[in-house]
Structure 1
Amino acid sequence: MKKLPENYQIDDLDRSILRTLMEDARIPYAELAKRYKVSPATIHVRVEKMKRAGIIEGTRLQVNAKRLGYDVCCFIGITLKSAGDYPAAIEKLEKLEEVIEAYYTTGQYNVFIKIMTPSINELQHTLINRIQAIDEIQSTETLISLQQPINRDIQP
């Protein structure tokens, strides 16, 4: 299948399809077709084009971390010993299952990560024995999240 150019432009139908699939990725193409008054084949072609253009990167199941017992969410700003330590630090952080997001940033920190643990005790253990034990890390600052009042994807 031929890859579409990165500057592929979506139209209003594509945006509508994306919004609906973002709400429920399991909705049948036939239902989308009825909703938007086009054929199921049109929906299929549009979705495939957006996949080839890299707009749709896949579908995934969303899990409620709190229901799985992960009650503590925090963000950790990491200062590295030197800028050249970034690749090695990221490789080590990637191996820690508690680290669920990582960002290479400008400003006060070199790296900003999001971690989730079942408890404050587990957070302390992870921070001291797993994250701060990484040789390339000079220092950390931890911010504990009390709640997440906004959680949304970018709208097409």
Structure 2
Amino acid sequence: MPSETKPIDAIDRKILRALRRDGRLSNNQLAEEVGLSPSPCWQRTRRLEAEGYIRGYTALLDQEKLGAPETVIIDIMMDRHDEAALDNLGRAMAELPEVLEVYLTSGEYDYFIKVAVNGTKGYEEFLRNKLYRIPGIRHSRSSFALRCLKQGGAPIPD
């Protein structure tokens, strides 16, 4: 049975901020940073994980070193909006390694996707060989990101 979610307090927020900044902190380092002894820090961190405040841990990878230095933002308009079309696009996006993020959106376009590619040639290959082969896409519009000014996770309230 899932545990009941408790509101977070100032110490929980300190733990979340510290882990967002460096998810590799040991429990002892984290405890020292947030002003707790190791045991209560460990208990709080496990509670934050169990209650879903912390969904997991990951490494930030360098796109450029991995051969995909360009980030492209693509807005997609679909032909249809039924459940089958939504499911199909979701499955297709999950299978494409270039796709970093996908959002179902309101407004003129139906989806916002963020992809990593190797320049304009890599982007053309992605469009022609992958994106445009997905049934149901009526129109897309693209923008190359010039520079990332901020990258981060969910906001942590004060």
TM-score (norm 1): 0.91
With 128-137 and 44-53 compared, the bigger mean Cα shift is at 128-137
Number of aligned positions between the proteins: 154
Name the amino acid aligned to 1:136. Answer: G
Query: In the aligned structure 1, how far is the partner of 2:90 from the partner of 2:151?
Result: 25
1:10 corresponds in structure 2 to 8
8 Å contact kept, 1:73–1:117: yes
Query: In the aligned structure 2, how far is the partner of 1:45 from the partner of 1:68?
Result: 37
Structure 1 residues 66 and 45, CA, compared in 2 at 3 Å: closer, same or farther?
same
8 Å contact kept, 1:132–1:139: no
2:147 corresponds in structure 1 to 147
**Secondary structure of the structure 2 residue equivalent to 1:18:** helix
Query: In the aligned structure 2, how far is the partner of 1:66 from the partner of 1:57?
Result: 27
Name the amino acid aligned to 2:37. Answer: S
- Give the fraction of aligned pairs with identical amino acids, expressed as a percent: 25
Query: In the aligned structure 1, how far is the partner of 2:122 from the partner of 2:33?
Result: 48
Structure 1 residues 101 and 37, CA, compared in 2 at 3 Å: closer, same or farther?
closer
How far residue 93 of structure 1 moved from its aligned partner, in angstroms, is 2.1
Query: In the aligned structure 2, how far is the partner of 1:118 from the partner of 1:36?
Result: 41
The correspondence of residues 101-120 of structure 1 with structure 2, limited to 5 A, is: 101-120=101-120
1:75 corresponds in structure 2 to 73
Query: In the aligned structure 1, how far is the partner of 2:35 from the partner of 2:25?
Result: 15
With 109-118 and 24-33 compared, the bigger mean Cα shift is at 24-33
Q: Which runs of 5+ in 2 are unaligned?
A: none
With 83-92 and 10-19 compared, the bigger mean Cα shift is at 83-92
Structure 1 residues 152 and 93, CA, compared in 2 at 3 Å: closer, same or farther?
closer
Name the amino acid aligned to 1:104. Answer: L
Structure 1 residues 26 and 106, CA, compared in 2 at 3 Å: closer, same or farther?
same
